[in-house]
């Protein structure tokens, strides 16, 4: 594979700060920081997106999506430790600012790697697992519940995320056109 073909979006099932193990598994991780003001901070993982062009034991890569790592950029929101179901979401719900930072990051990655914004190129781990039930990604909960938009049902979250990314993508397009004129 000579081109990164898709982005898969996750939550870490950890706290708001990435740890070193999490950094091995994703290319980008969005922290939530309370200080000095509430914000989302992007961390680079240990491996670059390009490391996932070829996923084999001889060449290390970010293993984020069982059965779907090759050609896939892994973006993770640092949150959701202790999530069990809608009634038991734990003490680290995804913050709205983390999602905004994630949408903008994905829009930038789409531009940089020329990845179109479609169902088969931008997806959550949850969606990948549903589409690929014979992989270890089957039944993955990320992202079946979005604490920033709690009324969204699981099967609507992917479309919601793609629309947001598209909005940021178009916004940056307008901006770059203005810069040129
Ligand atoms: Zn995942």
CA of 39 to the centre of ligand 1 (A): 22
Band the pLDDT of 177: cuts 50, 70, 90: low
CA of 159 to the centre of ligand 1 (A): 17
CA of 178 to the centre of ligand 1 (A): 37
Q: In the CATH hierarchy, which top-level class contains the domain 6-180?
A: alpha beta
**Share in percent of the chain as helix, strand, coil (round to 5):** 35, 20, 50
pLDDT of residue 172: 87
pLDDT of residue 178: 63
* Beta pairing, strands 6-11 & 72-77: parallel
12-65 pLDDT, tens digit each: 999 999 999 999 999 999 999 987 777 999 999 999 999 999 988 888 999 999
pLDDT of residue 127: 98
CA of 58 to the centre of ligand 1 (A): 23
Is the pLDDT reported for residue 160 higher than 60?
yes
72-84 pLDDT, tens digit each: 999 999 999 999 9
pLDDT of residue 176: 66
CA of 1 to the centre of ligand 1 (A): 22
Residues near 113 by Cβ (< 8 Å), separated by ≥ 6?
3, 4, 49, 73
pLDDT of residue 173: 82
pTM above 0.85, yes or no: yes
């Amino acid at each position: 594979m000579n081109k990164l073909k898709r982005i898969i979006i996750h939550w870490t099932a950890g706290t708001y700060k990435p740890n070193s193990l999490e950094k091995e598994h994703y290319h980008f991780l969005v922290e939530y920081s309370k200080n000095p003001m509430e914000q989302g901070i992007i961390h680079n993982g240990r491996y670059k997106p390009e490391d996932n062009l070829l996923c084999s034991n001889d060449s290390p890569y970010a293993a984020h999506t069982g059965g779907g790592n090759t050609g896939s950029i892994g973006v993770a929101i640092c949150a959701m430790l202790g999530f069990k179901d809608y009634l038991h979401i734990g003490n680290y719900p995804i913050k709205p600012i983390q999602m905004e930072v994630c949408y903008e990051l994905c829009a930038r990655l789409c531009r940089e790697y020329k990845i179109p914004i479609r169902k088969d190129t931008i997806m959550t781990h949850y969606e990948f697992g549903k589409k690929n039930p014979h992989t270890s990604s089957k039944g993955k909960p990320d992202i079946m519940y979005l604490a920033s938009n709690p009324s969204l049902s699981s099967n609507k979250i992917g479309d919601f995320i793609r629309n947001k990314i598209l909005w940021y993508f178009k916004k940056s397009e307008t901006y770059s056109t203005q810069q040129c004129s």
